[in-house]
Amino acid sequence: MATIKSMISIIITTNTVGLEIGQILKALSEQAYNPLQMEVIVATNAAPVQLPEEQMRQYPFDVRFIDQVYQNSDEGRNLAAAQAQGDLLLFLNNEVAPQPGLIRAHVEAHGRNPGGAVFGAETLNWSKSLSYLAMWVRLEQGRRTQAMRQAGYRFTYRDVPANNLSLSANLFSRLGGFDPGCPSVGDQNFDLGLRLITAGVPLYFAENALVERRTLFDTEAWSRLQEQAGCIDVILAGRYPELQPHLKLGSYFRPTWRASRILRFLVFSQPRIGQWMAARLLQRLRLYERRKMRWRWRWLFDTLTDYWYWRGVKATLNSEQELASFLAENLDWLEPTGREIELDLIYGLDAAEQRLNDERPASVRLTYGQHPVGHITFQPGAESLRGEHLRPLLATNLAMPFLQALTLNEVLCGNKLANQTPSIFNGRQQGVIYADQGS
């Protein structure tokens, strides 16, 4: 179990764009954590790091540099982790600056929740004038962070980052580390997330474990990220076929708006024309921003995001036919897997939550006495259901059917509820509603 005396190895991977390693080491030396319990390993991909001797002596912890060449950051992380001596491994990169309290927040989270994986968040960008893209990224980031802070949030593989992530060295070794064959998309490593969830490793969000992004995030970086996402989705769909319907990859043949349809078609059939069009549309995007045409900007941004994603897919699957065959191949694997249980909520919410904690099913059919409430279907890539997940679902996705069931049970069966029941009901009769956990 991690304590404030645990030895922690901080593994930093660098790329050419990012902070000087000296700035990150300075931020780490200002952490309120015993430097004797820390070591820092920097994987530089053979890029030279020029730090003067006097500066190196100032750092109170041990710093080592790995100058081997590697293909991508995940391989660099594995190389560094192999040399780490700490009980805990904390992964960072040189695009973010550690904020005060980062290390302590990770260690304390492990102390409260042993055997899990802990990840933190990025501070939000509070600059006064932001581009529309930066605003959009900030809103998305804020939305995700706020959702993860709520009790009862159900983590998915897409929540697991490769940056600002900590787990025990033993666990990392058991899982086999990062897979360089399925690299990270930006700061997210979906493959590691899936392996953590499949292995039943609990995930924890430490909201005080903060890093600050210092690198510029522009449309060029965004387009590269989307292309990576397209490539990785092909790999994920091949390795985890049950994910396919939930990936964007599986939506290629579904209806979409005209501009997207045209661009998707061009990606596979006339890529050069597609590139030319995308470049023109990018100029149009900048014009919309200058003229504050917000909803048009958003619409065009979504269209271009879609285009870049499919360009990434094309890097692996060269034609529409190949894509169609790939998707068809995996259809046989699309049977839901995992245990399903039935829960009758008439025995009380506490009892239902306890049963979920004991059995951790993949899906649940909920009833209230004789009345159906809903079906929480299997969600690939999401952690198994826990008791904490129940109330948020009943309060939101299943609110209407649950209320109907409560009232019908009292009216038809005359059963009194433990809590007070309203004596007036103005509800509408509806069929059973199935919770859609994919959205």
Partner 1 sequence: MATAIVDLEYDQLPSELAGLTGYDYALILIRLRRRPVGHMRLPVINGRISGRAFRTALLEAVDWTFWEVWLHYYLDWEERFTDAYNPPTATVATCTRDRTDDLECLLNGLMQMPDDGQEILVVDNCPATDATQRLVERYPRVRYVKEPVPGLNNARNRALKEARHDIVAFIDDDAVPDSNWLRNLLCNYEDPLVMCVNGLTMPKEIETRAQEWFERYGAFQRGFQRRVFEKVFANPLDAGVCGAGVNMSFRRCVLDLVGPFDPALDTGTPTRSGGDNEMFSRVLAAGYRVVYDPAALSWHRHRRTWDELRQLLYNYGVGVVAAWVRTLVEEQDTNALSIMWNWIYTKQLRELFYALRGQPSSLPAELLLAQLRGSLAGPWAYLRARQQVTQSE
293 lines the binding site for partner 1 (CB under 8 A): yes
| Binding segment (CB under 8 A) for partner 1, from list 59-67, 76-84, 141-149, 157-165 | 141-149
Q: How far is CA 431 from CA 346, 411, 434, in A?
A: 20, 18, 9
424 lines the binding site for partner 1 (CB under 8 A): yes
CA gap 179, 189 in Å, rounded: 9
Q: Which is nearer to partner 1, 50 or 430 (CB)?
A: 430
DSSP 205: E
The answer to whether the CB of 366 falls within 8 A of the CB of 400 is no
Of the candidates 97, 96, 98, 93, the one whose C-alpha atom is nearest the C-alpha of residue 14 is 93
217 lines the binding site for partner 1 (CB under 8 A): no
Q: How far is the CB of 350 from partner 1 (least distance, A)?
A: 10
Q: Which is nearer to partner 1, 38 or 285 (CB)?
A: 285
Q: How far is the CB of 409 from partner 1 (least distance, A)?
A: 13
Instruction: Kindly state the greatest CA–CA separation across the chain.
Output: 81
Contacts of partner 1 in 163-202 (CB under 8 A): none
130 lines the binding site for partner 1 (CB under 8 A): yes
CA gap 137, 93 in Å, rounded: 19
Q: How far is the CB of 303 from partner 1 (least distance, A)?
A: 14
* E strand residue ranges, 232-362: 340-344
Q: How far is the CB of 196 from partner 1 (least distance, A)?
A: 23
CA gap 434, 172 in Å, rounded: 37
Q: Which is nearer to partner 1, 56 or 147 (CB)?
A: 147
Q: Which of 5, 112, 149, 286 binds partner 1 (CB under 8 A)?
A: 149
Task: Give the neighbor-by-neighbor strand order of the sheet with 340-344.
Answer: 340-344, 363-368, 371-376
H-run or E-run covering 401: helix 399-413
Q: Which is nearer to partner 1, 237 or 390 (CB)?
A: 390
429 lines the binding site for partner 1 (CB under 8 A): no
- 206 HSE (CA, 13 A, CB side): 29
The alpha carbon of residue 159 and the mean position of all alpha carbons in its chain are separated, in whole angstroms, by 2
| Binding segment (CB under 8 A) for partner 1, from list 133-141, 247-255, 269-277, 408-416 | 133-141
Contacts of partner 1 in 54-83 (CB under 8 A): none
139 lines the binding site for partner 1 (CB under 8 A): yes
Q: Which is nearer to partner 1, 151 or 328 (CB)?
A: 151
272 lines the binding site for partner 1 (CB under 8 A): no
| Binding segment (CB under 8 A) for partner 1, from list 68-76, 213-221, 269-277, 285-293 | 285-293
369 lines the binding site for partner 1 (CB under 8 A): no
Helix (H, G, I), strand (E, B) or coil at 247: coil
Residue 29 burial (10 A CB sphere; 0-12, 13-18, 19+)? middle
349 lines the binding site for partner 1 (CB under 8 A): yes
Of the candidates 156, 355, 201, the one whose C-alpha atom is nearest the C-alpha of residue 364 is 355
150 lines the binding site for partner 1 (CB under 8 A): yes
DSSP 270: -
396 lines the binding site for partner 1 (CB under 8 A): yes
* Residues contacting 300, CB < 8 A, separation 6+: 281, 284, 285, 288
Contacts of partner 1 in 403-422 (CB under 8 A): 403, 406, 419-420, 422
Q: Which of 59, 65, 132, 217 binds partner 1 (CB under 8 A)?
A: 132
Contacts of partner 1 in 373-392 (CB under 8 A): 391-392
Contacts 24+ apart (CB under 8 A), 20-23: 20/94, 21/49, 21/51, 21/94, 22/51, 22/55, 23/97
Taken as a whole, the chain contains a residue count of: 439
CA gap 58, 25 in Å, rounded: 10
395 lines the binding site for partner 1 (CB under 8 A): yes
Q: Which of 48, 52, 57, 126 binds partner 1 (CB under 8 A)?
A: 126
Q: Which is nearer to partner 1, 254 or 295 (CB)?
A: 295
Q: How far is the CB of 254 from partner 1 (least distance, A)?
A: 24
Residues near partner 1 (CB under 8 A): 124, 126, 128, 130, 132, 135-136, 138-139, 142, 146, 149-152, 291-295, 297-298, 349, 391-392, 394-396, 399, 402-403, 406, 419-420, 422, 424, 426-427
